[in-house]
Every structure is written in structure tokens, then in C-alpha cells.
Chain A
Amino acid sequence: MAETQEIQAQQQSSDEFEREPVPRSALLGFKSFVGMYAGEHCAGTELMLGPLFVAAGVSAFDLIAGLLLGNALAVLSWMLMCAPIATRARLTLYYQLEKICGRHLVTLYNLANGVMFCFLAGAMITVSATALGVWFKFPMPGLTDLYPNSIGWVVAVAFAGGLIAIVAACGYQVVAKFANIAAPWMVLVFLVFGLIGLRQFINATNSEIHSTGDLWTLAKTHIWKGGAPQEGQVKFTFWHVLFFAWFCNMAMHIGMSDLSVFRFAKKSWYAIASAAGMYVGHFMAWISASILYAYQLHLDSTNTDVLPGPMAYKAAGLAGLTCVIIAGWTTANPTIYRAGLAFQAIVPKWSRFRVTLITGVIATIAGMFPAIAMKLLDFVALYGMLLMPMGAVIFVDFWLMKKFGLQSNYAELSKKGFNWAAGLAWFVTLAVCTILVKFSWIIDKLIEWKILTMSDTIEWLKSTFTIQIYFVSLPGWFFTAALYVVLSVLYQKKVKQTH
């Protein structure tokens, strides 16, 4: 744990390696990364994501197989895409990006990253606020609610978020220390949720469990039954689960955010430590949380509310409720802090305290809107999609540019503040991905405005080219990579000519 804290402290407080490669003397051992990933990926939002899988009508095989495979692909992405660059360049993501893209484009990236962190922290505050509802009995938002639905809810989120924001601004390090102390306890409370939920299912269904076969039958017939999703949710199949598990941290592995983490690793294979986070947080914790929600639906199929506070309280009493509060708090804290860091790069004259406090206020306001938490599956996929193209740019720039006879780190060499090849690759990819995700909606609007008329061809186009947000990032990565090379050929030639 002390080593875990060591890596966090090195990342957050040390200025000495922000604009230079990490020296050999500062490299860290394998254990540091195991502890860090196990703690960081067992967050308050896991208590939302697990139930949302059930709300999406997932079946037992699709969930278990999808999570096993998707998490393995995520670990491989850290090992094969992110860590090899991190351990060779040993630079922060921001410095690496600045060399490739230029200072102005990095500022834009910071803004996008900061905004997404704000919303993510908002969802974590939402999770914590659901625990307050158990004590104060105010009406809490339902699965389909997009806006705050009671004064009590707004006050609870304002209280929880305000407290988290003030603490993040005043004493980030204290909460980081507390988070490390809470982590082993929190992981086990997540496990307990699953164990208790399972027994409750066995009791409620009068099942006899004598073998793993019996357990599997219970899982597929009562817990993850499949079928139609709840109102307003997308139906999840094996492929949805696989891609979601793979890409929910896309910004970190394929998007290269964790270059800043693995620059401290002695060897690139240390990235296998991410498996601790994936199989504890994104396997065990999701499954446990989903069992609690499935049990709630089993008792009352009309009670579709995804409220971690009441669910945890029913299963594990005050310890469960404490877990919800601490899980939301300890993970919202660094998220707000990181968002603050991203924004501070844009307004460097503002103090860290001021920026973090303002960021916390924005996250708190976001947390009042249950739409983010209730649509967390979509939001997380959007987060990955938004930042993924810059990961492709870094990957191509590091490994392939010289093979195409092009210059890597072009902004640094040409002293440009904005590498248009990288910028356009990012913007065009986002535009194409958005059009593909919204293609069906766009066609419907064009028909509504009488610009198009419905025909078999249009229907075929709609069904062929509409891609759900969970799947669009994979082709999007290859598209960005190819586009960046083509645009670099044109851009680097043009800049050379003008010089």
C-alpha cells in the first residue's frame, strides 16, 4: 500500500519529471502497480454499472464470458499498446502529446478530458448521495429520470458534492491516504454484497445448490435471465459486454492516459498488474452489484430504480452503506483533482485550490442530474470514444512515422503550437464516429424534413451504417491511425515548403 501511495505521490506532487523522462532511480516495482489498479478500479461507479447490465437484459453466459474476455483484452491493451511506449519514452501523456501535437492542441485535449472527468465525478457524487436517501427518506431518481426529481435529492447531492469538492481542494493527499486504507476493506465489502445476494436468491427461489451446475442454473434462470431490457436501456448481448469491458477504460489504455502511470514501471510487462483492477473491480464488483439489483427486481419487478445506497443497506446494513459513501467519496476525490489539473493547464494563473473547488462545483451540479449515472454505460463509452483518437495518434507517431519517412514529435521539431494533422485526425474521427452512432436518427430527421423519402435502400443504409456507441471506437481507432498518416504526409510537406 505504501508503494501504491508512492506512485500516486510521484504522479501528483512531483514536478521534477513532468517535462523529462523518469530516471532509473525513480522506477517502481511490480507490486506498486497491482495495489494501485486494484484500488482505483473498485469505485463507486461499479455499484451503478453492475445493476445497469441487469437493466440492459443481459444473460448469464453473455455477462460472464463477455466480462472474462473483455477484461482480458483491456489488460492486453495496457500491456501491448500503452506500457511499451511508456517504458521507452518515460514521459507524461501531456508532455508526449505536446511534442506531437503542440501546446494549443494539448490545451484542447485537456479541456475535453477535464469536462469528462467532471461528469464522471458527478456520477460518483450521485452514488454517494443515494446513501443519504436511506437516512433522510427523500424521493430519489428512477432509472428513466433525467432531471433532479426532488428538493431533498438536490440538497443531498449539494451536501455530498460540496463536501467532496472542499476536501479535494483543501487536502487531496489526506483523502488519497484514507482511500488506500479503505481499499482492502472496500473490495471485500463488494465481495460480501455478492455472497449475501446469492444466498438471498437461493432462499427466495428455494433452490438446492449441490454443484456448480446448480449454481449456473440459478444464475441463468433467476439472476441474469436475459430477455428485454428495462425502459430506456439498450439490450446488451455478449458483444456489448465484451466491448464495454474492453473499452470502459479506453481513455487509459488505448487512449494512452496511463503513459503517465507506466513511465515509472521498470518493465512494460508490469502492465499485467491492471488485471488486478479488471478482475476485482470490473468482474467481481460488477457481478456482486448486479446480483443485488437482480434480487431487487426478483422481489418486485416494478422496482427498477438503480440506487446503490438502499441496495447496499438492504444487503449489508451500515457496513454496506458506509461502503457506498466511501466508494463514491474516495473515487470522486481524485477524479475532481485530475479534472482540476486538466483545467489548470488551461488557466495556469488560477490557484490549484480555486480550480479544484470550481471543478467540484461543476461536478456537483452534474451529479444532481441522474441522467449521467442512469446512462453511465453510454457515458463511459462516449468518454472512451472522445479521447481514443489521441491514443491512436501517439501510437502511430511513436512506432510508424519513421517507417513512412515522416517526422515523429513534429510539433516540437517544427515549433508549431497546433499540429493540424493530429488535430484534424481527432476532429474528423469524432465527427465520423458521431455520424455513425447517430446515423439512424439523422436519416429519420431527413425523412421528417422531407429531404429524403423512405425506401428499401434507405432502410438498408440505416441498418448497415448505424453503429452503437459501444462498437464504434474500434474501427474509429484504425480510421484515426490511417488519417493521421495521410494528413501528416500532406501537412509535413506543406510546412517544409513554407519554411
Chain B
Amino acid sequence: MPKIILQIISLLCLVILVLPSVLFLIGTKLSLDQVKLIMFAATILWFVVTPLWMWKGNGQ
């Protein structure tokens, strides 16, 4: 997969990580359990996708 696509997915992971907590803060109907679940999914995706493009250029 092209590096730029992987980088966009990584960026989206970070957005998905933070967005639910922002929605929770402003008082939408999102429950804390839902926030936690989405955050965990974003975390897994981040650690799967990001090393694919960051690991190789990292510390060579």
C-alpha cells in the first residue's frame, strides 16, 4: 500500500482517538463506554498501521 495512504489512515486513527472524547465533553449522547470502545479500536489500528510506514525510516 502506498505510504501516503498509510499516513492518512494513521492520521485518521488519531482523529478517531480524540473525536469521541470531544463529543463526550460537549455533551452529545455518546456514552463513556462507547468512547472507550472507539478509542481502543483507534489504538489497535494506530499500532497496526503506523509501524508499516514509520518503522523503516525510523532510526536507520
Contact = CB atoms under 8 A, between A and B. Distances in A.
B17 A196 contact: no
Interface in A168-204: 173, 176-177, 180-182, 184-185, 188-189, 191-192, 195-196, 198-200, 202
A447 interface: no
State which size class the interface on A falls in: 20 to 34
A177 B59 contact: yes
A5 B43 CA distance: 22
Contact of B18 (A9, A181, A192, A317): A192
Contact of A191 (B18, B32, B46): B18
Contacts of B35: 196, 316
Interface in A1-33: 1-2, 5-6, 8-9
A103 B2 CA distance: 52
Given A177-B59, A185-B14, A196 B24 contact: yes
B57 A189 contact: no
A195 B59 contact: no
B10 to A, nearest CB: 8
Interface string B1-30: 000000000000110011001101101000
Nearest to A314: B32
B25 A181 contact: no
A195 B47 contact: no
Contacts of B42: 319
A407 interface: no
B36 A181 contact: no
Interface in A298-323: 316-320, 322
Given A185-B17, A192-B21, A199-B27, A317 B39 contact: yes
Contacts of A8: 59
A96 to B, nearest CB: 26
A316 B51 contact: no
Given A185-B14, A188-B18, A192-B18, A319 B43 contact: yes
B58 A185 contact: no
A183 to B, nearest CB: 10
Contact of A317 (B27, B36, B50, B51): B36
Contacts of B43: 185, 189, 318-319, 322
A437 B37 CA distance: 49
Contacts of A188: 14, 17-18
Contacts of A173: 59
Contacts of B47: 181-182, 185
Given A181-B51, A185-B17, A317 B58 contact: no
Given A185-B46, A317-B37, A317-B40, A9 B59 contact: yes
A25 to B, nearest CB: 18
Contacts of B24: 195-196, 199
User: Which of B14, B39, B43, B58 has the most CB atoms of chain A within a 10 A radius of its CB?
Assistant: B58
Contacts of A177: 55, 58-59
B58 to A, nearest CB: 5
B60 to A, nearest CB: 8
B36 A316 contact: yes
A181 B17 contact: no
Nearest to A12: B59
A181 B21 contact: no
A403 B26 CA distance: 61
Interface of A: 1-2, 5-6, 8-9, 173, 176-177, 180-182, 184-185, 188-189, 191-192, 195-196, 198-200, 202, 316-320, 322
11 contacts: A6-B59, A181-B51, A185-B13, A185-B43, A188-B17, A191-B18, A192-B17, A318-B36, A318-B43, A319-B40, A319-B42
A-B pairs, 10 with minimum CB distance: A317-B36, A319-B39, A5-B59, A195-B21, A192-B21, A319-B43, A2-B57, A318-B40, A199-B25, A195-B25
